[in-house]
Amino acid sequence: MHISFPSSLIHGRLVKRYKRFLADVTLDNGDMVTAHCTNSGSMKSCLEEGAEVFLSPVNDPKRKTKFTWEMILIDGNWVGINTSMPNMLAFEWIKNGKIPGLEGYQHVKREVTFGDSRFDIFAENDTEKCFVEVKNVTMKEDDFALFPDAQTTRGQKHLETLIKVKQSGMRAVMLYVVQRIDVNRFAPAWGIDPQYAQLLQKAATAGVEIIPLQVEVHPEGFKLLRILPFTLELIA
């Protein structure tokens, strides 16, 4: 199932990213614009000054920046860096039964709370209830996609609460949306957040399901590719 961008994207080249949430981009017509960068992480392995990028226009008078940075070209492949996109993709694909292992839900909702955590998606049918937390994955090392690319206490809290979801008798899923095609496997980033990696192991042992979903990103939209194999061990 292909999902398109709501409006045509605008091409340019990255000048620099700064203050975490801002990026200066030179458009093809020579104009320099400042785009909003939704990615609060380090963006390690997907940040290259001078690289081609695509921005989406924003028609919100309350927004200071009139563009959102969507993707960057790294080694000939587009990498999706907009962290809000995976939630939208996961919602649409689960609703339409397109993600292997997450089919057959009649009711799918976004932003549902369990305990002291808010999860991205809640899905249910006549036989089960399922909480899904969605994470955007852009970091690459060798042929591995790694998460996270910066320490994440919020991510740790989500894993702890997913364990409680599972203990309560419901289904708990950690869905990693990998927005690049130049990787073949998934693993936690032990070198960046070992506590998160340990918690992911603990969650898996407790029955939390791990689904690394590889997505092809291009200026026209998104294509669901496949579920990646994964290891939770420290990779050499």
163 and 212 share one domain: yes
Q: Per-residue pLDDT tens for 129-158?
A: 999 999 999 999 999 999 999 999 999 999
- What's the CATH number where 31 sits? 2.40.50.580
pTM: 0.94
Closest CA to 86 of 96, 94, 78: 94
Closest CA to 71 of 42, 48, 98, 94: 48
β-strands 129-137, 171-178: how paired? parallel
Residue 37 lies inside a defined structural domain of this protein = yes
Structural domain range at position 24: 2-80
210 and 103 share one domain: yes
119 and 70 share one domain: no
Q: Which residues pair with 222 in a beta bridge?
A: 3, 217
Residue 235 lies inside a defined structural domain of this protein = no
CB 56 within 8 A of CB 41: no
75 and 110 share one domain: no
92 and 105 share one domain: yes
Q: Into how many domains does the chain fold?
A: 2
What amino acid occupies position 121?
I
Q: Per-residue pLDDT tens for 155-210?
A: 999 999 999 999 999 999 999 999 999 999 999 999 999 999 999 999 999 999 99
Cα-based torsion angle of the residue sequence 216, 86, 188, 181 in order, rounded to the nearest 10 degrees: 10
Residue 48 lies inside a defined structural domain of this protein = yes
Please report the pLDDT score of residue 59 as a whole number.
84
